[in-house]
Copies of this chain bind each other. A is one copy, B any other.
């Protein structure tokens, strides 16, 4: 990205009318800098100094019509969400997310206002944990698509992998579960305008449109000695199954209603807005199979339970794998670990 003077923009102007260089000049000053940013936007690469010489690195794409719908979410929402889901990946390694680079593909008819709103959302998402946007690429295309790569600083700690869960560890979750799925269901049913007036429903719509993962809990759980960790992006069951398989253990979770308490009540109340459903069953379904809340799922040794970060809830226990192999139990019963989201299904 270059660093020319921010240009004047006519109201409702499209990105084709403004042109690429002017658009970059408009966005760049809106975005926060990264800690350790030796070279920022405007050259071939950004350059980051990482004090311990280790970089955690992950990439994610968001596609209009698949991960979001332009008439359901503002540019600000899409920016926040793109930031959040990537920052959560770095936090899930126990790293402090430090920098993002962002590719944005959009139809030439996209308004400059939308892009400005997107950049503001991206910046707001980064400010949650002090990360910066250090580079990007813009291109025209048929539909909106956002590709974000995150760099995290492990701060001298070993990365927390999915493969370290040990029998006897507690299973811990920080953040929300099921809210994003509930928000999606309200939008899909066309109930969002009515639901926005209900505080609990609004919280679910927000969770879907612009999730706020507990980013600081990632480094805190790592410092507390977490043995495995990931962010819940596809679903609690599917992602718990990934830890179980990677660690060759069983994750024995309690009943959602029991372990999540007030949050399940919130979901039941929102489920009751949807006609013709059984609220209790639907709320349970959202918690177990809903993705994209991007909370953190971790296993921690019992000795670490006294030093968990705020908001951490114990939701189960790690057990030895039985003859059936690794897997997930919910309330003592075996759960299909592949319930969740397949991007080509």
Contacts and interface: CB of A to CB of B under 8 A. Distances in A.
Contacts of A242: 2
Interface in A29-53: 38-39, 42-53
Nearest to A234: B20
Of all A-B residue pairs in the complex, the 4 with the closest CB atoms, nearest first, are A147-B147, A149-B149, A53-B53, A45-B56
Interface string A215-247: 000000000000001110000000000100010
A19 interface: yes
A61 B137 contact: yes
A21 interface: yes
B137 A141 contact: no
Contacts of A344: 15-16, 18-20, 23, 108, 138, 140
A45 B343 CA distance: 19
Interface string A90-116: 101101000101111100100000000
B140 A343 contact: yes
B50 A105 contact: no
Interface size band for A: 35 or more
Interface string A159-180: 1011000000000000000000
A143 B142 contact: yes
Contacts of A99: 57
A150 interface: yes
A26 to B, nearest CB: 13
A161 B57 contact: no
Contact of A101 (B18, B23, B134, B149): B149
A57 B139 contact: no
Given A61-B137, A142-B65, A47 B159 contact: yes
A67 interface: yes
A119 interface: no
Which interface residue of A19, A57, A102 has the most chain B CB atoms within 10 A? A57
A83 interface: no
A46 B58 CA distance: 6
Which interface residue of A56, A95, A149 has the most chain B CB atoms within 10 A? A149
Given A20-B342, A43-B161, A344-B16, A57 B138 contact: no
Interface string A250-280: 0000000000000000000000000000000
Contact of A159 (B19, B45, B103): B45
B47 A137 contact: no
Which interface residue of A55, A92, A229 has the most chain B CB atoms within 10 A? A55
A57 B48 contact: yes
A92 to B, nearest CB: 4
